[in-house]
Chain A
Amino acid sequence: MVSSLLVEALIDPTRVLRAIYDPSKEIDIFPSTVSSYFSKVFESVDAFQEIPLLDVDHPPESHSPRALVRFRAMVQDTSPSPEMYLSKLEGNKCGGWGIANETVQEGVDYSYADLQECTVVWAVNVPGENRWSIEEIAGTTKGIPEKSHQPSQQHKFPLPDVPHIGVQVKIYDHSTPDSFKSTDIVTFVGILSSEPIHSELDYSTPLEVPTLHVLFSKPEEPSIQGGVIEADSSNIAVLREDLISWIADESLGGDRDAAEWVLLASIAKVQSRNPPILPPSLALTCFPSPSSSPPPPPALSRVMSLLLPLSVTLPLSLPLLNTSTFAPESKNEDLHAGYLQLPAGCIVLVTESGVAEGKLIEKGIMNLKALQDVMSSQSLPYIFPFSQFSFPTDLGFVILAEGKKSAFFQTSITHRLQRSKSKSEDDLYKPPGKIALPPAQTLAQFRKFLSAAKMAKVQVGDAASEYIQNDFVRERQDDKSVSADDLILRMTVARLLALSLHEQEVSVDIWERAKELDRRRKAQLS
């Protein structure tokens, strides 16, 4: 039975929709009926995987009209006003989900009581999501890009010049209390069609955009990617060492401390906003500029994309700073995405090497400020006419700076890169092909390791807590310049260190290790 329902729903969702429509029932509850019906049909993982994908490899054009698709997406814009639709068509037929696109003659009987609202949002495929992660989550093999998709609303994707899918999403079910927020990651399952873009401004020839009429949706649940890691402490220590060595050798000229900092920065996340316990930002200084031009991306960028599910490289340059926007801005009531409108958990690798001498105009200054704001307060202002709205972000930052400190940003951690003599400068910029990949199984272990560390929680024992307090008071007696900020940073590092060791508690030992790591870093700086 279930399988026939499944097949029906896969082949012609519209018909199923019409079939389950019961005009005698309250129209208000129909949308939630639809949502529960379809989520039941596709409850099992296998059934869910059956639903065709909508992604960059399977653009809207590759699907037939009104096909059932699933779309793992980031909500980009929630500002369109809700739309009203006729939920009951002539002859008590089901309305909504784009069914009513058949036109109605003016003056035909309709009642306001039949009007229902649907939420309209704009969603794009998850920016910065790395291919291995896409494949793992979507559970399918790589498709063949049939034809290059030309997104009509390029300005609504945070990363310009990257192929992407942007879809207008219409959500009919309002029974779920949480509304979607900007940068939320959601998997929408619905009927794909093409409709004029929803906007209040009437154009004589409205632009048609891909539109997904949502049947049901699944919010992104934080889960350890790639399954649970086997909990063997000695194994973990070895794995951790291997991982650090690999990062150091392949992307950081053999600097293991730098690799460890990158590791810690990669597993940091916003722990609390009030009081603010935010991920530390990391600057790797004395990172040489590439000798070739145009500057190739650093090998670290590739290494991160192999290890982390979400990572983005932001190659700063004057033209980029002066012309692009980092913070989303609403222009003509259309929210244009900015570089930093990224989903939570994304690690941003900022390279400063591309910045040459020149004039930074006001826009550039605002962009730098936006970037700094996100780094230090994890909130990104969206610019609306006459008002600004701050949205919470949860992004990690690794900055590669040529000088002794970052030219533009204040970071919580600055580490000076200590390249081993055997490695040349170009080694830091070697093309992806030259990066020695560990065996596939090891790579998968690395990913699991990082993902599990990021998910885990850590406590502090009473003994350690007492120890830390005394330590701080003592240090401050010795050195007046030690401030509360230093304590905060050190505690953050200790916590991350415990996470990276898959420990559940910050012990005195870990505290001392964290201090030692920090001390080594500071010693190199002076």
Chain B
Amino acid sequence: MSSPPPIDFPSDELDGDVDMENGEQEQEQSMMNAPPAQPLFLAGTPITPASRRGQSTAQNTPLGSSAVARRALGMAMATPKRTPLFARDSSPLAYPSSSPAKTPRRKGNNSDQAPDSEPLDFPSSPAAVVTPPRNRRGDIHSSLALTPSASRRVRRANDADTDAGPPSDGTHISLPPSSAPNLSAPAAPSSDEPDEIRAIWGTTVNLAETMKLFRDFLKGFKPKYRVAHDRSLPLPKRTRTFASPEEGEVILYEGYMRRMRQTGDTNLNLDMENLLAYPPCKKLHGQLGKYPQEVVPAMDQVLKDMMLEIADADQREGREGMIGVQGDEEIADIMGRVYKVRPFGLPAVNMRELNPTDTDKLVSIKGLVIRATPVIPDMKVAFFRCLTCSHTVQVEIDRGKIEEPARCPRDVCASVGTMSLVHNRCDFADRQVIRLQETPDAVPDGQTPHTVSLSVYDELVDVAKPGDRLVVTGIFRSVPVRVNPRQRTIKSLFKTFLDVVHVRLGAGGNSLGFDKSTRPPGGDKLPGIGGVGDGADDDEEEGVAGAGAGVRKTRKAEMEAKLMELSRRPDLYELLSRSLAPSIWGMDDVKKGILLQLFGGTNKSVARGGGGGGPRYRGDINVLLVGDPGTSKSQILQYVHKIAPRGVYTSGKGSSAVGLTAYVTRDPDSKQLVLESGALVLSDGGVCCIDEFDKMSDATRSVLHEVMEQQTVSIAKAGIITTLNARTSILAAANPVGSKYDVEMPITRNIDLPPTLISRFDLLYLVLDQVDEALDRRLAQHLVGLYLEDAPATGGQDILPLDELSAYIDYARARIHPIITEEAGSELVSSYVDLRNMGDDPRASEKRITATTRQLESMIRLSEAHARMRFSAFVELQDVKEACRLMREAIRTSAMDPRTGKIDMGMLNTGTGQGQRKMRDDMRREVLGMLDGSSGSSRGVKWADAVKQLGSQSSVKVDPAEFAEVIKALENEGLVKVVGERERRMIRKMEA
């Protein structure tokens, strides 16, 4: 066992680039332009990870004498001798005897990986297992326990016994000569130089080559490649066109790296699709997918080299912020940092499809976060000190546990049981375990959702919160279950989880994601720089699309092509509305209105015009259905809930204000107060379907006032005061007051809802049950056909299946943001004026209100939605025409004054129509007259008598409620007084 003097061995040496470089070294390195990472490769640190103990350690130690000396050596030579001591491929031993034949590392993949990289001619010289420098990344190294190397370890250790070859002959590869072009050292070893070849054990992956490839990629990738790649797909997706040819020629990743330097960011998001798009790097894509835990650290290393290189070049060029001392500081900073490449952009698979052959590969899945643990400090390196001789030893975590040294490793001391843990010298990393559940759209019919565990580390901790939908990219792990935590025995059962390398919020896919415009302006807090790399900065969504081998048609691409084709159908509008709730007969306009609601208008914010944080105009369309019971309103709602983005279905009857909004509760795990979102907040950016809207309590309803116009929910409970976003469209259904709609009465009388709330709905439909012989016969035919046959068919109609409809809407919402054209604008104006003028009745002295600005806004939203449905980038005349038609239809049914047959929006906005107002005036006059007439009796007039008397005088029915309103108004004016209760109420005239 090594027992080096503690001083010589800064305990953190293994940490490599993180803590390794002290000022002096940095100085030295930058002067020499040496690649920074090499100290990493020093072997013989006293850290002997538990996994690597045993015979092998003995061989390590000879090198452990003078780090400094070797460091110098390393700098002088292009290929310094050193022992690679890597945690992953843990055997630091070289295998001179190893034959060119590959030892299968994963039996399962051998066949696939063959075409991936050309067969490497393995040199007969020791092919030491070399992985790049240890860069303590939780996601890569993690607590994961058994890598395939576990099995090899034992065997090879034995080999090593017989095999005298010191491990130190491993030549260094992590310092690819090309990494420092300005260095005088000989450059680029080619693969025919046996000395330079290092492969990942059991694979054909040559790490030096991999690193070189990635370096080339970083230096050479330009957006034009991506565009060309996207176009080359069998079904090209929407590609970007460059404003100028130069735009396609930028070295994308150099730009990203400069930005990283400026912002101090250490994560580079790498869209794997770009690797495919860059012809020389196609191979790298496959390697990264299959051997992430070897390739990713190699990439990290290259990234760091490149960061330094660019910084250095910039310093010499004297770029802003990089001059002189400032530049030196920057470079020193860079050296002190750990850089991480975060790959993403694999096609997301269903978590059910993950199987043992995916173990240790890079996979991408999506789901819904249901639980996240608090941050767990994950001990990476334990620091032990001998109580007797104060000798210190560091032990790395291995398979999730720390092997406590039983005795002091120093030969002279060797006391048993004296090693004690020094907590504050240990290294910890942030870790969090997240439970990710399948989203409802991914769950096969009739199945309950599955869940997987995710381990997230460092920057990714706390990025995702329960309720978020994610697309994660990570390494799939299978770890044996221990029989007993205190035993070394394991069971033949394995548990699986994902070590996450990249997280993206808001999974797209078949169901609708949330509306991007509803997220905070700065975007969600996600670490890392760099996106898809077609040069555009709005890199959302793109990455998920078909990263398949580039030849194969991906499902998504196919779907997109289908959608595009669909959008060109002339009867698109009819088809889509027909496909919405196909089992419901008729109600065409209602379906069209709801269809447009699903597409939604665009959200507008004044922020763009200047002065951030200006008011936001909702693009969400709210629809209210009022009608007779048994007219399939609930069915429509249920249907919409199924296809709607973040659709939430709730019943006004069952839900309290709390159920709809949010409530404060104590988290069972952490015992902390947490805010749990209710239906409205959960449907932020989606559609909230509320059935039995009229049965809702007043408290709940009052919340809706805020939601429907301000689109926020304010909470003040248990000391938590906050405003949550609830940018949701509302689709509500209500029954009329007397369960049957009374056509003789205005709508406000028929539904027990405050006019203020009603007016917030863009479209209000009356769904009435009408008697009509021809209609009845058809209905009966339809029903008899359905109900009396044993296996009813849907009737051969041309309709879109639910998932396609959903995908269509999803696509439109995500991609299409129509702009109103000049022509459409003027049509909107004239339509609005027309609508308002409908109230002009030359015979009436009083003007009825037929349209208010609310209706204009609705009209705009509906036109936008219609354009969106057509996949059109512009709102055109036809959109406005249809929007107006829908509005007029809806207004005609809902705002018609049953007494006059005229449209009066005032009825919806204030609850009283013009006709009604007139009638009230008449009634008021009559009541006063009646009271004057009976002035002889000071007791006034009985309430019931008054109603009766008025009824006998009037040609129309006297509505008791109207009467009550009139009396109330008179009472307020101080003209009359009501005494007594209920039946015995008396109306008395006030004496002046």
Contacts and interface: CB of A to CB of B under 8 A. Distances in A.
Interface of A: 77-79, 81-86, 89, 95, 100-101, 103-117, 179, 181-182, 200, 202, 204, 271-272, 274-277, 330, 332-333, 335, 362, 365-366, 369, 377, 382, 384-389, 391-392, 457-460, 464-465, 468-469, 472-473, 476-477, 480, 483-485, 487-488, 491-492, 494-495, 506
Contacts of B446: 181-182, 391-392
Interface in B408-465: 435, 437, 439-440, 443-444, 446-453
Contacts of B478: 84, 112, 115
A387 B787 contact: no
Q: Which 5 A-B pairs have the closest CB atoms?
A: A460-B788, A100-B492, A113-B107, A115-B356, A84-B494
B355 interface: yes
A78 to B, nearest CB: 5
Given A107-B151, A389-B440, A458-B790, A491 B779 contact: no
Contact of A79 (B448, B488, B789): B448
Nearest to A274: B583
Given A275-B786, A369-B651, 16 more contacts: A79-B451, A82-B450, A86-B494, A106-B480, A112-B107, A112-B478, A179-B444, A275-B792, A333-B370, A335-B448, A365-B653, A388-B649, A389-B443, A389-B449, A491-B788, A506-B788
Contact of B654 (A82, A104, A369, A385): A369
Given A79-B449, A110-B151, A469 B491 contact: no
B153 interface: yes
5 contacts: A111-B107, A182-B447, A386-B466, A459-B789, A483-B769
Interface in B743-786: 769, 771, 773, 776-777, 779-781, 783-786
B106 A81 contact: no
Contact of B787 (A106, A366, A491): A491
Contacts of A95: 492
B230 to A, nearest CB: 34
B791 interface: yes
A117 B682 CA distance: 35
A120 to B, nearest CB: 10
Given A104-B480, A459-B788, A506-B788, A362 B656 contact: yes
A51 B797 CA distance: 51
A304 B500 CA distance: 55
Contacts of A389: 440, 443, 448-449
A460 B789 contact: yes
B953 interface: no
A29 to B, nearest CB: 15
Interface of B: 104, 106-108, 146, 148, 150-151, 153-155, 352, 355-357, 359-360, 368, 370-371, 435, 437, 439-440, 443-444, 446-453, 466-467, 478, 480, 483, 485, 488-496, 583, 630, 638, 649, 651, 653-654, 656, 659, 668, 682, 769, 771, 773, 776-777, 779-781, 783-792, 794
B448 A382 contact: yes
A75 B88 CA distance: 42
Contact of B154 (A107, A116, A384, A458): A107
Contacts of B494: 83-86, 115
A491 to B, nearest CB: 4
A103 B786 contact: no
A450 to B, nearest CB: 19
A495 B451 contact: no
Contacts of A332: 668
A408 to B, nearest CB: 12
B688 to A, nearest CB: 14
A117 B449 contact: no
Contact of B453 (A85, A200, A494, A495): A200
Contacts of A369: 651, 653-654
A487 B905 CA distance: 38
Contacts of A105: 488-490
A480 B743 CA distance: 14
A107 B150 contact: yes
Contacts of A103: 483, 489-492
Contacts of A472: 776, 780
Contacts of A114: 107
B697 to A, nearest CB: 12
A155 to B, nearest CB: 15
Contact of A468 (B780, B786, B789): B780
A108 B488 CA distance: 11
Contact of B359 (A115, A377, A480): A115
B492 A469 contact: no
Given A111-B148, A275-B583, A495-B788, A104 B439 contact: no
Contacts of B368: 386-387
B332 to A, nearest CB: 42
A83 B787 contact: no
B357 A365 contact: no
B357 A112 contact: yes
Contact of B447 (A78, A274, A388): A78
A89 B491 CA distance: 11
B783 A83 contact: no
Given A86-B494, A104-B489, A487 B780 contact: yes
Contacts of A377: 638
A365 B790 contact: no
B792 A366 contact: no
A491 B784 CA distance: 8
A195 B682 CA distance: 39
A100 to B, nearest CB: 3
B689 to A, nearest CB: 12
Contacts of B485: 202, 204
A490 B530 CA distance: 65
Contacts of A101: 491-492
A204 B486 CA distance: 9
Nearest to B658: A362
B783 A106 contact: no
Nearest to B370: A385
A272 B777 contact: no
B787 A469 contact: no
A434 B272 CA distance: 77
Contacts of B153: 107
A483 B668 CA distance: 50
B182 to A, nearest CB: 44
A484 B629 CA distance: 11
Nearest to A332: B668
Nearest to B770: A480
Contacts of B450: 79, 81-82
A387 B359 contact: no
Contact of B491 (A100, A464, A468, A483): A100
Given A81-B452, A182-B446, A459-B789, A113 B108 contact: yes
Contacts of A112: 106-108, 148, 356-357, 359-360, 478
A385 B369 CA distance: 9
Contacts of A110: 151
A107 B448 CA distance: 36
A108 B151 contact: yes
Nearest to A95: B492
B792 A272 contact: yes
Contacts of B492: 85-86, 89, 95, 100-101, 103-104
A158 to B, nearest CB: 15
Nearest to B358: A112
A387 B494 CA distance: 28
A109 B786 contact: no
Contacts of A485: 630
B664 to A, nearest CB: 15
A114 B492 CA distance: 11
A388 B780 CA distance: 35
Contacts of B489: 103-106
A466 to B, nearest CB: 9
A472 B151 CA distance: 78
A272 B785 CA distance: 13
B771 A333 contact: no
A202 B480 CA distance: 12
